[in-house]
Structure 1
């Protein structure tokens, strides 16, 4: 049980850090009427709309994947995660959407711990 909770904590921490780095990059590259702090503040507010559903999907899909290999699972999960970036379609510049989509793909394809609940794991003896 401890091992599963560690993997869940790693999943959440990895996504939150990746999301924060993504919005720092957006704040640094976006040129417009808003300052860096306003851009990153917008990103932290967008976490509820973009990051929350992404984490929920990863947490729900992780234990459900038992009949496909990890690569297929990651590819199948990348599209729904990219869909959660839809609120950024209305942004005045393309950078927020492009970088957020790249963030979602990087998380699903490379950084998300998969499988979340290993099928063949046994508790380590103490």
Structure 2
């Protein structure tokens, strides 16, 4: 396969990476909004809780803020890892990505509840370990040592 025929694959792989992260992020925060603790009612003098609908919307607004605060830097890290070459195997790259995606999560350490941290870390790990297309640049073969050439099959190429 020549290099010219692979050029159309890079934007598709980037789009798959971005869409995959957004999908995992939205699903994670929808689950958190549905089963997470209800917010305290700020208009009340007592310790009353918001209704489920109001609390759900409050959690979704928090999730939208987290997308800007944590999601965008995470996508940049994922794209950089996806474009870097290297001779590491797929599992090592995924583990490296999983730990690098924890870096943008530091603001959640100061959240009032551990549920937000757990949700965000779960989103980062699910994306890094299962969803992220590990290589964003198409490669036909990769040398793993001096004598062995491994031809990458349909695992690393996105055929649509």
The count of residues paired between Structure 1 and Structure 2 equals 121
Q: 2:117 aligns with which of 97, 102, 113?
A: 97
Counterpart for residue 37 of structure 1? 57
Deviations 1:28-83 (A, max 9, x none): 12223251101111110111110001100111121113311111111111111022
- 2:23 equivalent to 1:3: no
Choose between structure 1 and 2 for higher RCO, CA contacts under 8 A separated by at least 6 residues. Answer: 1
Structure 2 runs not aligned, ≥5 long: 1-6, 41-49, 142-160
Structure 1 runs not aligned, ≥5 long: 122-126
Indicate the larger mover: 26-35 or 46-55: 26-35
* 1:114 Cα deviation from its structure 2 partner: 1.2
Contact 1:66 1:119 in 2 (8 A): no
* 1:25 Cα deviation from its structure 2 partner: 1.1
Q: TM-score, normalised by structure 1?
A: 0.89
What is the distance in 1 between the residues matched to 2:126 and 2:136?
Answer: 17
3-state SS of 1:85 partner: helix
Q: Quote the RMSD (CA, aligned, Å).
A: 1.4
Contact 1:85 1:101 in 2 (8 A): yes
- 2:23 equivalent to 1:17: yes
Contact 1:65 1:73 in 2 (8 A): no
What is the distance in 2 between the residues matched to 1:53 and 1:95?
Answer: 21
3-state SS of 1:114 partner: coil
